[in-house]
Amino acid sequence: MAQDPQHHPLLLQAFPRGLSRLEPLPHFRTAAAPLGAGDGGGSAVRPRRADAAGAGGQGAMTMAEAPLPAWVRVVIVNYNGGDLLGAVVDGLARQTMADFDAVIVDNGSGDGSVERLSLPDRRFRIIHAGGNLGFAAGCNRGAAGAASPWLAMLNPDAVPAPNWLERLRAATGRHPEAACFGSTQLMADDPSRLDGAGDNYSIFGIAWRGGYGAPATLVTGDIAVFSPCAAAALYRRDVFMAAGGF
């Protein structure tokens, strides 16, 4: 299904209150890719051996440094996001947890939103899909090739609070059994109201956003939900890939 333009900008509260405690299926119970030493910072490096031919044909061993993969890749799928896309990218650039890279997948926008975009630093890059892949396929395209242990999906109208990623990372430590996490979403024109706190599903096949329009004070801590809303969600990469993505 083609992606529709976004019309309802959101503000994301930093605390991931819409927590999904979905237990991974048994064959998904593999550990996330280890980060090794220096997990806490984006500047950590790991040694890599390189062989260089020395005098007389002897191989001289040298050490080269290669950066560790980021803790999380953030994927933004854009289609005619307008100026809101720039606000979302700026919000990511101001994150207190800097150990991430970000991929903006543009689904053939015609509003100039990508052309006007100024990427803050080398952590950010743009993929031109060449057409409207839709949201799900766009997310899969952005996640492809990621080496980070976590993947985050963020809508082009969902402006993250400065400590959004920091709080999500803290939640993974509190709930190591969970494979995905959501965020409390607040209405931009009235941050005292919820745009959503996780998705719900009934036995009759009806899905809806939990807490839509309710006071933001309704949720006061981590809660279990049927699933996180992919407008601002975190997924363990190995589980996401094993499931074939979206």
Q: Per-residue pLDDT for 219 more than 90?
A: no
**pLDDT interval class at 66 (50, 70, 90):** low
**pLDDT interval class at 145 (50, 70, 90):** very high
Domains and CATH numbers, the chain: 10-23+69-242 (3.90.550.10)
pLDDT tens per residue across span 7-46: 444 455 443 443 333 223 222 222 322 222 223 332 222 2
pTM of the model: 0.74
Q: Give the 3-state secondary structure of 94-160.
A: CCCCCCEEEEEEECCCCCCCCCCCCCCCCCEEEEECCCCCCHHHHHHHHHCCCCCCEEEEECCCEEE
Q: In 3-state terms, what secondary structure has residue 164?
A: helix
Mean per-residue pLDDT for 164-172? 96
